[in-house]
Structure 1
Amino acid sequence: MTRFFVICSLFLGAFSGVNAASLQVNVQTKDGAAAENAVVSITPITLGLVLPEVENAATMTQKDTLFRPFVLPISVGTTVTFPNLDEFRHQVYSFSKPKRFELRLYGQDTTNTITFDKPGIVALGCNIHDNMLAFIYVSEAPLVGKTDVNGTLLLEGLPAGEYGLSVWHPDEKKGKAVPVTVTLDDAVQASALMTVDLRSVRREQQPPADEGY
């Protein structure tokens, strides 16, 4: 069995096949800087490809009064667990159209889960701690991952064929980045370069100003 790895993503799958290739996706800003936390959705164009199985579970942790990770890419139908690893309580919520919900005040002794059954961008907040911010990107594509600090996403064990790639970033300006098409040959690594136009001021989580939380 050939394993399929998504680097810097919370999903791991597998696929059975003889011919396998790898794909390195590099995402950069219009200024040429590496774009961390860019979500790349991968959809096969070639018919009949046997794709890796997608994990239907993921985790969005609350620790040190922050969400971890800041960006979580998942596929439609994934159930996300929201563990609280802090010694105080949190109240997680989202007003985003794909999934409106609220997890009432809970501490370390409670486990909450939410299933994301519609595609789209879900922004998270905490009613108790205004500094907390995160995004869950729910993709309809069969494969999805995000870039690391170097703006790179590496996928291995893919069946050879043609794929369409689209990218999203929480700081992108209005309008979507241009999708690209890439062809993978047997046992050969292919690469793709994608560009996102980002705001000059980034939306980031900041540690709480009050250490008395």
Structure 2
Amino acid sequence: MIATNTGFGRLQFILLLVLWGSATPLWAGDLSVSVIDDQGELVENAVVVLHPLFDDDWSTLEPQALLMKQQGAMFRPFVLAVGTASTVSFPNLDEFRHQVYSYSKAKRIELRLYGMDESKTVLFDRAGIVALGCNIHDNMLAYIYVSDEPYHVVSDAQGMALIRDVRPGDYEMTIWHPDQKKRRQSYMQSLSVLADSAAVAARIEMRSSRRQQKSPASAGY
């Protein structure tokens, strides 16, 4: 079960569903967040972050080692969420070379030309949003959301973000998407996790035109 405070921010909860509940253990259950836009359409690639409003021992949360593939002259995935102190490898699965770069404040990247089956790894040690590009293929675009919070998940093609093992307590939940109307302001909502597992749906305002990677065919390759 969760309780929400709709007056906290612009994120509007439209559904509250208790899946099952019992006495709160040290580790609570899963929180499912369904993200939709202001037209009622499911939103893929939204980053859902829970910010704990209580003190606890988060030392059991280890840094991650994740992948941002280059395949078919596209980054895969389009949006990746990682924790601070995590590493991301950039394997090139194409038969031609890539040169990955970012001028973002959270992380400046310049991975000089490298070819098929080669990979380079980058440490992300500062929270923020990192926009990626390729100096060789202008169609390539992706984002890495670096979070210093313990819970951060990207919504899938069905608009669902599943956050596992959420500890009971009070949180602020923010949702970020590269196409939200106010890019510098994540949508925010306060909530309290009170029992094992629950699900909510959240509506965010999106731009009418969406950023996306163009396929190599449409980009002229």
TM over 0.5: yes
Tell me, yes or no, if structure 1 residue 33 matches structure 2 residue 41. yes
Structure with the larger RCO, 1 or 2 (CA within 8 Å, 6+ apart)? 2
Count of residue correspondences: 196
- The aligned runs of 1:179-194 (5 Å cut-off) are 179-187=188-196, 189-194=197-202
User: Which aligned runs of 4 or more in structure 1 are off by greater than 6 angstroms?
Assistant: none
Query: What is the alpha-carbon distance in structure 2 between the residues aligned to residue 207 and residue 151 of structure 1?
Result: 22
* 2:211 maps to 1:208: no
TM-score by length of 2: 0.80
RMSD: 2.2
**Other-structure match for 1:167:** 175
- Structure 2 residue matching 1:158: 3-state secondary structure: coil
| Change beyond 3 A, Cα 1:39–1:211 | closer
What is the CA–CA distance in structure 1 between the aligned matches of 2:133 and 2:187, rounded to whole Å?
29
Counterpart-to-counterpart distance in 2, 1:149 and 1:109: 28
Q: Any conservation in 2 of the 1:132–1:205 contact (CA below 8 Å)?
A: yes
Find out whether 1:70 has 2:78 as its counterpart. Answer: yes
> For residue 137 of structure 1, what is the amino acid of its counterpart?
Y
Q: Is the 8 A contact 2:58 2:150 kept in 1?
A: no
| Match of residue 132, structure 1, among 124, 140, 143 | 140
Q: In the alignment, is residue 99 of structure 1 matched against residue 107 of structure 2?
A: yes
Query: C-alpha separation between the residues in 2 aligned to 1:137 and 1:158?
Result: 20
- Secondary structure of 2:187 counterpart: coil
CA distance in 2, matches of 1:119, 1:179: 17
- The within-5 A match list for 1:52-71 is 53-71=61-79
CA offset at residue 179 of structure 1? Answer: 1.1
Stretches of structure 1 lacking an aligned partner (at least 5 in a row): 1-16
Q: Deviations over 1:97-148 (max 9, x none)?
A: 2111211110124321111111111111111111111011111212111111
Asked whether the equivalents of residues 81 and 112 of structure 1 are also in contact (C-alpha less than 8 Å), the reply is: yes
Aligned position for 1:178: 187
Match of 1:5 in 2: none
User: For residue 172 of structure 2, what is the amino acid of its counterpart?
Assistant: G
Query: Could you give the per-residue CA deviations for residues 50-103 of structure 1, whole angstroms, max 9, x where no partner exists?
Result: 586244211100011110000001111211100001111111111112111211
Deviations 1:25-51 (A, max 9, x none): 121112221111000111222333658
Letter in 2 for 1:121: I
Identical counterparts, % of pairs: 46
TM-score, length-scaled by structure 1: 0.83
2:116 maps to 108
Match for 1:196: what amino acid? I
Matching residue's letter, 1:156: R
- Rounded Cα–Cα distance in structure 1 between residues aligned with 2:126 and 2:27: 33
Name structure 2 gaps, 5 residues minimum.
1-24
Kept after mapping to 2: 8 A contact 1:159/1:186 = no
Specify the alignment match of 2:162 in structure 1: 154
Aligned residues of 2:152 and 2:163 also touching (Cα < 8 A): no
